[in-house]
């Protein structure tokens, strides 16, 4: 006779540290593409140049989502799933690139929205490395 008891799998905790210290080179052109929709081409280029030069800081996943006004994407979003799979496999995620457009306007996630959502699903209080520049 088969043993019908269900044995719960013990969930493996996600790695606490799942971030690279420096953005990937391809993150900057991706940020420029997005920023060129929000700013003139020359302003977008200047913002990306500033993002290349500024040092990194950290912010909590939940605070980045709140400040940006963007919704939390589900674990089933293809890009979020891809990032969660990377972390589970031991790969490190690239820091996010952010622009503060001014008082009363939401934070712009120039690159890294899906990474923020993936990190939130692992730990909403996760400290995410990011580079932040002001648009003014």
- How many domains does the chain divide into? 1
| CATH classification at residue 59 | 3.90.1530.10
Residue 67 forms part of a structural domain: yes
**Domain range for 129:** 27-134
In a domain, 64, yes or no: yes
Q: Which three-class secondary structure string do you get for 102-122?
A: CCCCCCEEEECHHHHHHHHHH
Phi-psi region of 23 (alpha: psi -120 to 50; beta: other; left: phi over 0): beta
> How big is the CA angle at 94 (ends 87 and 35), to the nearest 5 degrees?
135
Is 88 a member of any domain?
Answer: yes
User: What's residue 104's pLDDT?
Assistant: 87
Q: Does 3 map to a domain?
A: no
Segment-wise mean pLDDT, segments of 10 residues, the chain, 136 residues:
43 65 96 97 97 96 97 97 95 97 93 97 94 93
Any domain includes 20: no
The answer to whether the CB of 98 falls within 8 A of the CB of 64 is yes
Evaluate whether 107 touches 67 at the Cβ level (below 8 Å). Answer: yes
Reduce the DSSP state of residue 103 to 3 states and report it: coil
Q: Are 99 and 106 contacting, i.e. CB atoms less than 8 angstroms apart?
A: no
Please check whether residue 21 lies inside any domain of the structure. no
Q: Is residue 106 part of a domain?
A: yes
What is the distance between the alpha carbons of residues 34 and 131, in angstroms, rounded to a whole number? Answer: 16
* pLDDT of the residue at 7: 40
């Amino acid at each position: 006779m088969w043993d019908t008891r269900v044995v719960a799998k013990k969930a493996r905790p996600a790695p606490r540290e799942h971030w690279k210290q420096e953005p990937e080179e391809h993150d900057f052109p991706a940020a420029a593409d997005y920023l060129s929709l929000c700013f003139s081409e020359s302003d977008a280029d200047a913002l990306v140049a500033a993002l290349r030069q500024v040092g990194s800081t950290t912010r909590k996943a939940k605070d980045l989502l709140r400040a940006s006004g963007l919704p939390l994407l589900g674990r089933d979003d293809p890009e979020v799933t891809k990032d969660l799979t990377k972390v589970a496999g031991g790969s490190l995620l690239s820091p996010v690139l952010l622009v503060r457009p001014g008082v009363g306007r939401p934070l712009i996630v120039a690159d890294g929205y899906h990474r923020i959502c993936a990190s939130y699903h692992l730990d909403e209080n996760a400290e995410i490395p990011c580079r932040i520049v002001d648009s003014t």
